[in-house]
């Protein structure tokens, strides 16, 4: 019992420290880095969603970028056609994408593994072309330009810091929500369905319903990320959501660690920074560098970066424990002597 209490305090402390880092980071780094961290926050939200679907429910999606696109277009279209403040369109972006994802769950139920991956990939490829078919609504290939982001209510924040605060506040709320969901019976059911649909069905779980819910929930997160992306970039067009975005997101989810809670954060850092650094290392062949880094990561940490961090943590704890070993052995011997 006491052990559990200690680890709980530790966890709370770690969470508080993490929150403090997130809050203080923009003042420690340049404005541009803060802008990059806005992207990290957006990818973080998208990856939490993908992690629910792929990590906890075992359904591989190569089409997560499509939900991001739907969210982004929702925000852009609603803002340009109604003039409402972009801020209020974010929940709507999530809902529209969530409903789309839930509906996609119906046909997707019939597919598994690679077949499902291909079907989702088809959505990611088709969506940008679909957007061009309705130029009156979506602006066609030219897309939709939005006003540059600005802090509302006269808050004394630069546009970048406002975006940062917005993105990471939403990320924090959605992260907490996913934590509660995945630690409760909902998460357990999702994982039960992932591990064996037959076994889950035999104890009365409606596996199909849960798979659809997982799709809807993951698309909801993607849509929120998309809405934020539209606000941050202040521009939406089909080229903004290439099929490679979906691949990059799945890569981030796997690299971060599927099924873990902090995996999406590490994955988001990977999605944002590794392609940029690959460009720094080699202008001629960034994709080769990117591929090499990916192979290296999967070689060192096949279960994802979270696993690597955990292993490193265990190693350090073991070392500390080993160092203390002689001291703790001495005590009883002294006692014996006295």
Partner 1 sequence: MNGRKLLLALALLGLACWSATAATGAPATPGVSAQSITIGGTFPFSGPASLYAGIGAGAAAYYAYVNDHGGVNGRKIDYVTLDDGYNPAQTVQLTHQLVEQNHVFAIVGSLGTEPNLATRSYLNEQKVPQVLVSTGASVWGSGYRKYPWTIGWQPNYIAEGFIYGRFIVDKVPQAKIGVLYQNDAYGADYVSGLKSGLGAQQKKIVDQEGYEVTSSDVASQMAKLKASGANTLFVAATPTFAIQAVALAYKLGWRPIIFMNSVSATNTLMGLAAKNSSPDAVNGMISVRYWMDPSASKYAKPGAIELYRSILAKYSPKSNPDDAFNAYGMAEAWTFVDALKRAGKNPTRAGLMTALLHMNTKANPFLLPGMRLFTTPRDHFPLSQAVLVRYQDGSFRPFGHLLNYPRTRG
Q: Does 302 sit near partner 1 (CB under 8 A)?
A: no
DSSP string, 165-221: HHHHHHHHHHHHHHHHHHHSHHHHHHHHHHH-HHHHHHTT--HHHHHHHHHHHHHHH
- Residue 164 and residue 41 in contact, taking contact as beta carbons nearer than 8 Å: yes
Residue closer to partner 1 (CB basis): 30 or 188: 30
Nearby residues of 211 by Cβ (< 8 Å), 6 or more positions away: 57, 59, 105, 108, 109, 193
In the numeric block, the tokens 């209020």 are attached to 88
Residue closer to partner 1 (CB basis): 19 or 296: 19
Rule CB under 8 A: choose which of 147, 195, 206, 325 binds partner 1. Answer: 147
Smallest separation, CB 282 to partner 1 (Å): 10
Residue closer to partner 1 (CB basis): 150 or 319: 150
- Residue 125 and residue 243 in contact, taking contact as beta carbons nearer than 8 Å: yes
Q: Does 158 sit near partner 1 (CB under 8 A)?
A: yes
- Helix ranges (DSSP H) in the chain: 2-28, 31-50, 64-82, 86-108, 113-133, 135-138, 159-183, 185-195, 197-202, 207-233, 243-256, 263-281, 286-300, 305-337
Q: Does 36 sit near partner 1 (CB under 8 A)?
A: yes
Smallest separation, CB 105 to partner 1 (Å): 26
Residues in the chain: 338
Rule CB under 8 A: choose which of 91, 95, 111, 279 binds partner 1. Answer: 279
Smallest separation, CB 38 to partner 1 (Å): 9
Q: Does 27 sit near partner 1 (CB under 8 A)?
A: yes
Span of 19-27, 46-54, 193-201, 219-227 interacting with partner 1 by CB under 8 A: 19-27
If you compute the radius of gyration of the chain from its CA atoms, what whole number of angstroms results?
22
Smallest separation, CB 17 to partner 1 (Å): 10
- Residue 272: other Cβ atoms inside 10 A: 20
**Footprint on residues 227-256 left by partner 1 (CB under 8 A):** 229, 232-235, 237-240, 242-243
- Residue 264 and residue 256 in contact, taking contact as beta carbons nearer than 8 Å: yes
Q: Does 153 sit near partner 1 (CB under 8 A)?
A: no
Smallest separation, CB 278 to partner 1 (Å): 10
Q: Does 23 sit near partner 1 (CB under 8 A)?
A: yes
Listed residue (48, 97, 41) closest to 68, CA to CA: 97
DSSP letter, residue 141: T
Smallest separation, CB 250 to partner 1 (Å): 17
Q: Does 191 sit near partner 1 (CB under 8 A)?
A: no
The first and second tokens of residue 181, run together, are: 């969901």
Residue closer to partner 1 (CB basis): 161 or 211: 161
Residues binding partner 1 (CB under 8 A): 12, 16, 19-20, 23-24, 26-27, 30-33, 35-36, 39, 125, 128-129, 132, 140-143, 145, 147-148, 156-158, 160-161, 229, 232-235, 237-240, 242-243, 279, 283-284, 286-287
């Amino acid at each position: 019992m006491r052990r559990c209490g200690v680890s709980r305090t530790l966890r709370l402390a770690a969470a508080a420290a993490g929150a403090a880092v997130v809050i203080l980071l923009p003042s420690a780094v340049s404005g541009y880095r803060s802008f990059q961290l806005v992207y990290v926050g957006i990818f973080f939200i998208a990856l939490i969603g993908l992690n629910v679907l792929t990590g906890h429910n075992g359904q591989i999606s190569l089409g997560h970028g499509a939900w991001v696109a739907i969210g982004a277009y929702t925000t852009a279209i609603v803002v340009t056609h109604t003039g409402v403040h972009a801020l209020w369109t974010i929940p709507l972006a999530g809902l529209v994408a969530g409903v789309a994802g839930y509906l996609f769950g119906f046909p997707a139920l019939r597919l598994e593994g690679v077949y499902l991956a291909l079907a989702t990939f088809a959505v990611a490829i088709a969506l940008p072309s679909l957007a061009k078919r309705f130029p009156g609504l979506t602006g066609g290939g030219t897309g939709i330009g939005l006003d540059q982001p600005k802090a509302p209510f006269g808050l004394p924040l630069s546009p970048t810091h406002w975006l940062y605060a917005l993105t990471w506040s939403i990320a924090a709320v959605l992260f907490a929500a996913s934590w509660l969901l995945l630690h409760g019976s909902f998460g357990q059911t999702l994982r039960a369905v992932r591990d064996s649909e037959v076994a889950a069905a035999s104890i009365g779980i409606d596996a199909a319903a849960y798979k659809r819910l997982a799709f809807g929930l993951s698309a909801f997160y993607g849509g929120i990320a998309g809405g934020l992306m539209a606000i941050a970039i202040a521009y939406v067009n089909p080229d903004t959501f290439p099929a490679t975005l979906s691949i990059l997101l799945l890569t981030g989810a796997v690299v971060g660690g599927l099924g873990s809670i902090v995996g999406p954060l590490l994955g988001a850092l990977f999605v944002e920074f590794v392609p940029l650094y690959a460009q720094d290392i080699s202008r001629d062949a960034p994709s080769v560098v990117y591929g090499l880094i990916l192979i290296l990561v999967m070689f060192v940490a096949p279960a994802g970066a979270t696993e690597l961090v955990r292993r490193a943590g265990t190693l350090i704890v073991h070392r500390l424990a080993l160092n203390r070993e002689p001291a703790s052995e001495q005590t009883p011997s002294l006692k014996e002597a006295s």
